[in-house]
């Protein structure tokens, strides 16, 4: 019997869409490096986890983890009152909202991933567009598409402009293009602090995006999942309105580094002028446990929608499909209720991120590898074009010629080198091509890992890229 006769169009579309990036993540997860048990496993420098405080959070969780009769029963699909109250308290304490967020403004889901899927199905009909500036966290594409069938359209924004209000012109261009094709655009996702560059948006940039969204009646999903992982703040934020930021073309300054403009993270919930910029009912915030609490595996995220109660109601209607375990609800309720612990945990988390960032950037500086200085999150957006040129020249195929300039690199080179590194060097990083980088030769590296592990991984990665090699994998080959 033909598959076409059995499955829905949506399932067939998903089956036919082979995603090399997701396959590689699966491979990296299934064959993870362990110094003793699996020394030939894949070292994961690509998935955004913060392993720097594992012992502290483990100890805390084990001290509060007792299963009670209540945990054996069904509870509230969108999060118990206690959990939502404690989440709202945590937000009120850390996100500086203009008006306190209430438990009824919050819908808990099993991860921000699930929240994005649910939001896409609430906001969009299949085929409708969601704009996201690229480079972006590539999983947005699948989160918003696999079930809801909303389609992410990337808006290439040069990394030099990610903090600047002038980026709105790229959104406008994309919107006009989609309008011209008869495609309805429903929303923008803005990730602040930004994955993969680790930059905080300037207030001016967020305001400009909100005004653009308002003019065009677009929802704005502010993904603030790294809100509490800002480890380098601004000393003297230059005023973007005076346009001090560098623009594409003069990204490299005289000493060959990328702009280190730093801004305070400002949650959109804290904008006292929000209603002057946008109809607030268009604004929705996302946060969760995975990044700021180092609990990816718990699968807990939440939507904060104080300005649009209908979004909350619509999400609650489908909440049984993103129900988190009762036990997780009760453990996390207790964790988030312990504000003293959370405060000291957050200080340690930021300190550890800064320390690891400094070690990693010193390592890269010593190798003369350029990167975009980051402020937040777990990652660095690194330019490896000179190394990729070298790698390509060491692995030339028949009828290929030596190259000398980054402009001769292609996204096929990005993909080939990435697959080759996973397969032969046993290192998983994120290739720029998967994050819709605007040029080949960029990677995202996760530095929030113990230095012993990270150093070994970096040595392995750069030794491999630099070494002479004649083997080259096919793009479509299974990893
Ligand atoms: C920007 C961003 N949003 C959402 C997610 C997904 O988070 P969760 O683990 O809560 O599904 C991630 C995970 O890497 C992320 O980087």
pLDDT tens-place string over residues 64-117? 978 888 889 999 999 999 999 999 999 999 999 999 999 999 999 999 999 999
Domain with CATH 3.90.1150.10 in the chain: 9-49+378-466
Per DSSP, the residues of 18-37 read --HHHHHHHHHHHTB-BTTT
Q: What's the confidence (pLDDT) of residue 468?
A: 52
Distance CA 293, CA 448 (A): 13
Tokens of 331: 């453990």
- Which pLDDT value is given to residue 241? 36
**C-alpha of residue 113 to centroid of ligand 1, in Å:** 6
Distance CA 21, CA 435 (A): 10
Cβ(225) to ligand 1 under 6 A?
Answer: yes
What separation in Å is there between the alpha carbon of 405 and the centre of ligand 1? Answer: 35
- CA of 402 relative to ligand 1 center, distance in Å: 39
pLDDT at position 396, please?
Answer: 87
Dist. CA 191 → ligand 1 center (Å): 10
- Identify the pLDDT of residue 239: 36
Looking at the chain, the domain(s) classified CATH 3.40.640.10 span: 72-338
CATH class held by domain 72-338 = alpha beta
Q: Is 302 helix (H, G, I), strand (E, B) or coil?
A: strand
CA separation for the pair 200, 192 (Å, rounded): 6
Which residues contact residue 253 at a Cβ distance below 8 angstroms, ignoring those fewer than 6 apart? Answer: 246, 259
Record the tokens describing residue 243, joined without a space.
Answer: 């346009």
Ligand 1 touching residue 222 (CB < 6 A): no
Taking the C-alpha atoms of residue 283 and residue 281, their distance in angstroms, rounded to an integer, is 6
Task: Look at residues 158, 151, 160, 164 and name the one whose alpha carbon lies nearest to residue 133.
Answer: 158
Any atom of ligand 1 within 6 Å of the Cβ of 138: no
What ranges in 95-161 are assigned the alpha helix state H?
Answer: 112-123, 139-145
Asked if the 9-49+378-466 domain carries CATH number 3.90.1150.10, the reply is yes
pLDDT (0 to 100) of residue 3:
52
**Distance of alpha carbon 73 from alpha carbon 322, whole angstroms:** 16
φ, ψ (nearest 5 deg) of residue 247: -110, 170
> pLDDT digit of tens for each residue in the chain (479 aa)?
555 568 988 888 888 887 766 777 787 778 999 999 999 999 999 999 999 999 999 999 999 978 888 889 999 999 999 999 999 999 999 999 999 999 999 999 999 999 999 999 999 999 999 999 999 999 999 999 999 999 999 999 999 999 999 999 999 999 999 999 999 999 999 999 999 999 999 999 999 999 999 999 999 999 999 999 999 975 443 433 344 433 333 333 333 478 888 999 999 999 999 999 999 999 999 999 999 999 999 999 999 999 999 999 999 999 999 998 999 999 999 999 999 999 999 999 999 999 999 999 999 999 999 999 999 999 999 999 999 999 999 888 888 889 999 999 999 999 999 999 998 999 999 999 999 999 999 999 999 999 999 999 999 999 998 875 444 444 343 33
Q: How many CA atoms lie within 13 A of 8 on its CB side?
A: 6
């Amino acid at each position: 019997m033909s598959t076409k006769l059995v499955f829905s169009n949506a399932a067939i579309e998903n089956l036919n869409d082979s995603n090399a990036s997701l396959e590689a993540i699966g491979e990296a997860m299934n064959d993870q490096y362990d110094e003793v048990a699996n020394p030939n496993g894949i070292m994961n420098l690509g998935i955004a986890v913060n392993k720097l405080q594992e012992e502290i959070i483990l100890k805390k969780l084990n001290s509060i983890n007792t299963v009670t009769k209540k945990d054996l029963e069904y509870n509230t699909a969108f999060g118990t009152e206690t959990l939502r109250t404690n989440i709202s308290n945590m937000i009120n304490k850390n996100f500086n909202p203009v008006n306190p967020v209430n438990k009824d403004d919050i819908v808990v889901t099993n991860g921000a991933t699930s929240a994005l899927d649910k939001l896409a199905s609430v906001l969009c009909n299949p085929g409708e567009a969601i704009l996201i500036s690229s480079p972006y966290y590539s999983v947005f594409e699948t989160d918003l598409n696999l079930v809801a069938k909303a389609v992410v359209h990337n808006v290439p924004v040069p990394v030099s402009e990610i903090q600047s209000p002038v980026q709105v012109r790229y959104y406008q261009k994309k919107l006009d293009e989609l309008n011209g094709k008869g495609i309805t655009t429903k929303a923008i996702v803005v990730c602040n602090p930004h994955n993969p560059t680790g930059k905080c948006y300037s207030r001016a940039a967020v305001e400009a995006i909100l005004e653009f969204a308002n003019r065009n009646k677009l929802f704005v999903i502010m993904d603030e999942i790294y809100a509490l992982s800002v480890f380098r703040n601004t000393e003297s934020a230059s005023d973007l309105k005076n346009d001090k930021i560098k623009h594409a073309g003069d990204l490299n300054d005289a000493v060959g580094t990328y702009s280190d403009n730093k801004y305070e993270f400002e949650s959109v919930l804290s904008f006292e002028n929000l209603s002057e910029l946008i109809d607030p009912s268009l604004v929705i915030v996302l946060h969760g446990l995975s990044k700021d609490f180092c609990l990816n595996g718990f699968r807990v995220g939440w939507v904060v929608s104080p300005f649009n109660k209908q979004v909350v109601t619509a999400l609650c209607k489908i909440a049984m499909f993103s129900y988190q375990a009762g036990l997780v609800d009760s453990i996390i309720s207790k964790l988030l209720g312990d504000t003293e612990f959370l405060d000291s945990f957050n200080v340690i988390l930021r300190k550890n991120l800064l320390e690891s960032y400094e070690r990693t950037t010193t390592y890269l500086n010593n190798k003369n590898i350029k990167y975009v200085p980051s402020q937040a999150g777990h990652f660095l957006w690194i330019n490896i074009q000179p190394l990729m040129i070298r790698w390509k020249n060491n692995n030339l195929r028949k009828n290929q010629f030596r190259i000398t300039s980054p402009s001769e690199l292609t996204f096929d080179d990005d993909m080939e080198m990435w697959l080759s590194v996973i397969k032969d060097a046993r290192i998983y990083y994120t290739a720029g091509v998967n994050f819709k980088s605007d040029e080949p030769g960029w990677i995202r590296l996760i530095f929030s890992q113990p230095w012993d592990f990270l150093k070994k991984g970096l040595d392995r990665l750069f030794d491999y890229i630099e070494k002479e090699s004649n083997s080259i994998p096919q793009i479509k080959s299974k990893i």
